[in-house]
Amino acid sequence: MSSTSASPLHLAVALDGTGWHPASWREPAARPKELFTAAYWAALVAEAEHGLLDFVTFEDGLGLQSTRYDAPDGRTDQVRGRLDAVLTASRVAPLTRHIGLVPTVIATHTEPFHLSKAIATLDYVSSGRAGLRVQISGRPYEADHFGRRTLSPLTFAELRGPAGQAQVTELFDEAADYVEVIRRLWDSWEDDAEIRDVATGRFIDRDKLHYIDFEGGHFSVKGPSITPRPPQGQPLVTALAHQTVPYRLVARQADLGYVTPHDADDARRIVAEVRAEQEQAGRSAEPLHLFGDLVVFLDDDQAAAEDRRARLDELAGEPYVSDARTFAGTPAQLADLLQEFAEAGLTGFRLRPAVAAHDLPAVSRRLVPELQRRGAFRTAYEADTLRGLLGLARPANRYSAA
């Protein structure tokens, strides 16, 4: 599924609090007092839908946000606290018509049965626009909230060593099983399992509900689900990946992976590695989108964008650093960069607005028209489901009789 600079791009935005810069909440337009209201999130998603974006993602976690990997940081000068991502997406869904809704779910410490029906419900509430972003948690202080397992306290540097990599690999293997269970549960009802025949008194055809009988190293799940098969059949499964172990999760289980290249050559290398892992997983014939993640500071003038970033850094007391490339410039410059990255094999992009109140409207009202002028982005929504927007077919049910 390659892309060229002339091919239409796919675009998503990642929503997190008041924006991805830690000082974003201090901007005059940021509305931090409304952060925990439904209206705040509905307005952000409506803005993204105004720009005809494919979908939005909602960040989530199992512990308070922290600048440290191994413990809460105790800071009081940054946004702390979140609403539940799945519930927020479900609340926003009836207020939108076309845009996909992709909440983050944490595979570690939660149960796939619960999440399968939560995302299936979101797919019903949104009439086929649901997805999920699967994430792991290796933080000991988050494990302490559940008391079911102990995770070794590791610094960020130790994570890169043998012990850290072994722990990370185990958590990603668990996440792969987690997604497999969810996918099987979504298929555990055949599409026509519900008869709803008042005359005969038959509501369901019990022969079309299936035990999934999953037995793995991390889960033993009998099934079937209690929720009928979602409208999309399989809602979109996505994951963020920075290195080989998470690339493998994307290749094995995802419909879409987010990657973090810092230049076009880096993008080519990452795409080649993920495609090789996809082939190794026996999925080379299946479509798999790869989106590049970028943090964006967007203004009409490059100097204004760079000055705004510098001012926010000063408020934060330190320069902002990210796992993803950080872009500060104009919509036209960003459009150039996106098209350059697309030539390296990326099929779309997930933009992280540095300040949601400023940079999200800049994406929807300035970047999108620029891409449209270049013939590189849609001018109207062309499908009713998230899979449809991404050119993904509705999959057959694995349990249906041939």
**Residue 104 in marked binding region:** yes
Task: Collapse the DSSP code of 30 into the 3-class scheme (helix H, G, I; strand E, B; otherwise coil) and give the result.
Answer: coil
Token digits of residue 7 = 């091919």
Separation CA 336–CA 5 (nearest Å): 9
Query: Whose CA is closest to 102, among 88, 112, 116, 82?
Result: 88
Q: Which residues contact 358 (CB under 8 A, 6 or more apart)?
A: 19, 27, 29, 298, 308
Cα 288 to Cα 104, 275, 291: the distances in Å are 19, 9, 10
Separation CA 314–CA 63 (nearest Å): 27
At 128 the three-state DSSP class reads coil
Amino acid of residue 151: L
Nearest alpha-carbon partner for 332 in 293, 302, 377: 302
Handedness of CA 59, 61, 64, 67 (dihedral sign): negative
| Residue 150 labelled as part of a binding site | no
Distances (CA, A) of 322 to 166, 302, 351, 354, 385: 24, 20, 13, 11, 32
d(CA 98, CA 55): 9
Binding residues for FMN: 60, 104
User: Binding site: what residues are annotated?
Assistant: 60, 104
